[in-house]
Amino acid sequence: MKKVLVAYESVKGHTEKMANYIAEGSRMAGNEVDVKHIRELKKEGDIQGYDAYFFGSPTYHRDMTNTVKTFLFLADKANLKGKIAGAFGSYTHSGDAPKLILDTMAHVFHMKATDLSSLNLLEDKIATDEGMKACQQYGRAVTE
Ligand SMILES: Cc1cc2nc3c(=O)[nH]c(=O)nc-3n(C[C@H](O)[C@H](O)[C@H](O)COP(=O)(O)O)c2cc1C
């Protein structure tokens, strides 16, 4: 059993839904999962102590949000080297944020990003059965 943190930002609630589905999927694989809005994570100690991390951000203006950028500076201090990494987010047309986040997790934090890459889901898909399953499967596969 792994300890997993799903930390997300969401302005309109779509990425938050993804976070909860990803957590469900990872729990189905037998893991213990915390889901937190990144605003709840105020110091590096709040981030440390997990085996695997999913960081989520919607794409706004072809980027992750500023809150997520600030959060990543905090995550840098937490020393997550060697931990399992996944990234996700909701989007409508370009969906840049999850890839940018996973790049930082892999190349700056030296975390273990799986071959599964990041999960970028079209906003309209998230409320569908297919969208829910895609998130659950991602949560399960990254942490299995
Ligand atoms: C002002 C604004 C800018 C946006 N810019 C982008 C963008 O550059 N690329 C993209 O794919 N989606 C863009 N979107 C769409 C959001 O990513 C989409 O609505 C997403 O589902 C929001 O996620 P959230 O509900 O978790 O905040 C934009 C939306 C708004 C309101």
CATH of the domain at 64: 3.40.50.360
Residue 109 pLDDT class (50, 70, 90 cuts): very high
Q: Is the CB of 91 under 6 A from ligand 1?
A: yes
pLDDT digits (tens, 9 = 90+) for 57-102: 999 999 999 999 999 999 999 999 999 999 999 999 999 999 999 9
Q: Is the CB of 120 under 6 A from ligand 1?
A: no
- Return the ligand 1 atom nearest residue 18 CA: 26
- Strand-pairing partners, residue 52, are 4, 84
Burial class (CB in 10 A: 0-12, 13-18, 19+), 85: buried
What pLDDT, on a 0 to 100 scale, did the predictor assign at position 104? 97
Q: Is the CB of 57 under 6 A from ligand 1?
A: no
Global pTM?
A: 0.98
Write the residue with the smallest CA distance to atom 20 of ligand 1: 91
Q: What are phi and psi of 71, to 5 degrees?
A: -60, -40
Domain that holds residue 108: 3-143
51 three-class SS: coil
- Measured distance CA(136)–CA(19) in Å, rounded: 9
Write the residue with the smallest CA distance to atom 2 of ligand 1: 60
Q: Is the CB of 124 under 6 A from ligand 1?
A: no
Q: Is the CB of 14 under 6 A from ligand 1?
A: yes
Pairing of strands 112-113, 84-91: parallel
The residue with tokens 């100690």 is 45
- Strand-pairing partners, residue 121, are 90
Q: How many domains does the chain have?
A: 1
To the nearest whole percent, how much of the chain has pLDDT over 70?
100
